[in-house]
Amino acid sequence: MNKILKIAVVGPESTGKSTMSEYLAAHYNTIAVPEYSREYCANLTGDCTFQDEVNMFHGQLALEKKLLPQANGILICDTTFLTVKIWSEEMFGSAPQEVIDELPQHPYDFYLLLDIDLPWQDDPLRNFPTKREYFMNVWHRELQALNANYIVISGLGQDRYDNAVKAIDKYLNPDFQD
């Protein structure tokens, strides 16, 4: 079996990660792993706890593992469990040790860091409309700490999608010309 390339679509809240992931999966005729925490948090009856973050970490990994065999050469991941680390540190002051320990064990081949140039869209699961720039800086720092191969994707409408496709095509074929 050929290696499946894992491409992660990450970034602050309200940057279009889910929509981008679905678009890219359709474009590359493959599957997108949804963000596990969306469904998990939608079913919470109270505030998210530290244990909930641990549960979301395990859920995201399990969902990715379950969907990996369905990928057609590329697996598009709507976020990663790195989000658990970022949110835990923001909400609780620290991240679960098992998340920190596992980060280097689950690398992604390429990350698309979606820029904060989209207008904010309200959503019951979004918490920080005024901290998008702060979280963009956090994402840069975290990806750099992992020595991750990533690029920032900006643009509105179709331009944003086109920029993501160009970035992936260039990653897949470094000789690719725009």
DSSP output for 33-49: E--HHHHHHHT-SS---
pLDDT at 79 over 60: yes
Give per-residue pLDDT as tens, 33-71: 998 887 887 787 778 888 888 889 999 999 999 999 999
Among residues 55, 68, 50, 59, which one has the least CA distance to residue 5? 68
Continuous segment of H or E residues that includes residue 90: helix 82-92
Is residue 3 scored above 90 in pLDDT? no
Report, as an integer, the average pLDDT of 69-87.
Answer: 92
Q: How is domain 5-172 classified at the architecture level of CATH? A: 3-Layer(aba) Sandwich (3.40)
**Does pLDDT of 134 surpass 80?**
yes
Looking from the CA of 95 toward its CB, the CA atoms found within 13 Å total: 19
Q: Where are the domains of the chain?
A: 5-172
Whether 26 has a pLDDT exceeding 90, the answer reads: yes
pLDDT in tens, 142-164: 999 999 999 999 999 999 999 99
Average pLDDT (74-84) is 92
The residues with which 33 forms a beta bridge, in sequence order, are: 77
